[in-house]
Amino acid sequence: MNRRVSLPMVALLSILGACLAYVVTAEYLAPALRASTAAAPAPALEAAGPAESADAAALVQQGAYLARIGNCAQCHTAAGGAPYAGGGALNTPFGKVYGSNLTPHLQAGIGRWNAADFWRAMHEGLAPDGRVLNPAFPYTSFTHLQRHDSDALFAYLRSLPPADTPSRPHSLPWPLGSQTALSAWRMLHFRVADTDSAAKTQPVGPAHTAPQTAVSLARGAYLVQGLGHCAECHTPRNALGGLRSAAAWRGALMPDGQWYAPALNDPLEAGMSGWSVADIATLLTHGQHAEAYMAGPMAEVVRYSTQYLTPEDAQSMALYLQMLAPPSPTASSKAASPVTTSGVTARPKDFALGERLYENHCAQCHGKSGEGVADAYPALAGNRAVLMRDTHNLVQVVLHGGYGPSTAGKPQPHGMPPYQLTLNDAEVAAVLSFIRNAWGQSAAPLSEFDINTMRNRPAP
């Protein structure tokens, strides 16, 4: 007797066949096809004439500057390792990802790449052999880089001493590191930027903006969105790790779960619409300003990257950051009512304990009324970082200390000692709850459980 295959079975077999076809395509066929269309291998370096040497030196110098703005060395250099030889670890919710060797070593590095290969990696997220790169390498932002800047960056990397350090494999559970998963992620979360149109189009600023300011704004957008890859931390991600473009710049917990990158378009977090361009540029290059200072991962960004911005680029980035957020409340409206973030009106139950702890451990630097000391210790009264709904950064600074970056503009910044061995969980919660609700402020208190959770979270 002939048995008929049921329709559900046919549908199941069709789905399985489609899945198998996708896996074979992603793992084998697509990389091979992309590799077949790649450019020829990089030619051997040859001696150049005086004019060519001068042009090449200028290109390398420009590339060195761009590498700093992109903070490439931080991920692509291991602690104690050769510069750009790879090995820097990035903790993600999916596992550890390691920066690859970017030196011109023929086997371990990118010595066999040419400028077109490098451009393809930056612009499309594809390796020379056609493989999709792991998006921990932020090609989702680097795709905005224009070709001439990519070539300059590649020229700089080619000028580095070759290092024979093999690139360390990522620590990701199967199948997250497979081409099947990476190709699917890329299809869902990535679109190649149209850099040709961007290079020809000059964005127009507000009606009152002078032409030179509009050009500066375009440069700022280019640096923030592209090589600076600021959205990679300051934009929330979905469950698959893709940037939520509809929530751009709204702040996000860092991949290691330790620090919070505040919203750049919210005046109550890190929006800078109420700041002058000069003050924002100072914060980016010095790591500290009268109203704020950098700590945690952002301090590292300033130390290794933004302190090297040219004055023009610093002001361009500042102008773009200033325009991301709507106008902040005026000074008169701020003074008219206490700073409030969550509608909290009742004092925390341990307010008296928190007040005593503040007087003993904090007032000497931050002032009896939280006024701080200009250019040394930040004010806590009216400080957005103190009042934000997300308290990760507050707890981290109290437990592990707050240290600003050493920069040319601020070579010896003041720091804050750690209190993880001095104060217990209940005491940390009490003093932070006091600070958030003293001097006319009103914000949600922290609990002992909140502190315990942060204190016992595994270190990255």
Q: What are phi and psi of 289, to 5 degrees?
A: -145, 170
Rg (CA), the chain: 25
pLDDT at 91 over 50: yes
Q: Are 94 and 176 in contact (CB under 8 A)?
A: yes
pLDDT for 382: 92
Q: Which residues are CB-neighbours of 325 under 8 A, at least 6 positions away?
A: 264, 265, 266, 267, 271, 272, 273
pLDDT at 320 over 90: yes
Q: Report d(CA 395, CA 432) in Å as an integer.
A: 8
Between the two ends of the chain, the Cα-to-Cα distance in Å is 64
pLDDT at 343 over 60: no
Kindly give the pairing relationship between strand 252-253 and strand 288-289. unpaired
Q: Are 112 and 43 in contact (CB under 8 A)?
A: no
Give me the CATH code for the 338-455 domain, please: 1.10.760.10
pLDDT for 375: 82
Q: Are 327 and 274 in contact (CB under 8 A)?
A: yes
Q: Report d(CA 265, CA 326) in Å as an integer.
A: 7
Residue by residue, DSSP assigns 101-150 as P-S--TTTSSTT--HHHHHHHHHH-B-TTSPBPPTTS-HHHHTTS-HHHH
Q: How confident is the model at residue 414 (pLDDT cuts 50, 70, 90)?
A: confident
pLDDT for 58: 94
Output the CA angle 173-176-181, nearest 5 degrees.
160
Q: Report d(CA 87, CA 100) in Å as an integer.
A: 6
Q: Are 109 and 102 in contact (CB under 8 A)?
A: yes
Q: Report d(CA 197, CA 67) in Å as an integer.
A: 24
Q: How confident is the model at residue 416 (pLDDT cuts 50, 70, 90)?
A: very high
pLDDT for 203: 42
Q: How confident is the model at residue 298 (pLDDT cuts 50, 70, 90)?
A: very high
CA distances from 381 to 36, 385, 447 (A): 61, 10, 21
Q: Report d(CA 234, CA 259) in Å as an integer.
A: 11
The pTM (predicted TM-score) of the whole model is 0.85
pLDDT for 336: 32
Domain ranges, ordered by start, for the chain: 18-42+51-195, 211-324, 338-455
Q: Report d(CA 370, CA 358) in Å as an integer.
A: 10
- Angle subtended by helix axes 311-324 and 277-286, to nearest 10: 120
Please compute the mean of the pLDDT values over residues 352-371 and round it to a whole number.
Answer: 96
pLDDT at 26 over 60: no
Q: How confident is the model at residue 51 (pLDDT cuts 50, 70, 90)?
A: low
Nearest of 167, 154, 186, 175 to residue 31 by alpha carbon: 186
Which residue type, as a one-letter code, is found at position 126? L
State pLDDT tens for residues 118-169: 999 999 999 999 999 999 999 999 999 999 999 999 999 999 999 999 999 9
Mean pLDDT of the chain: 86
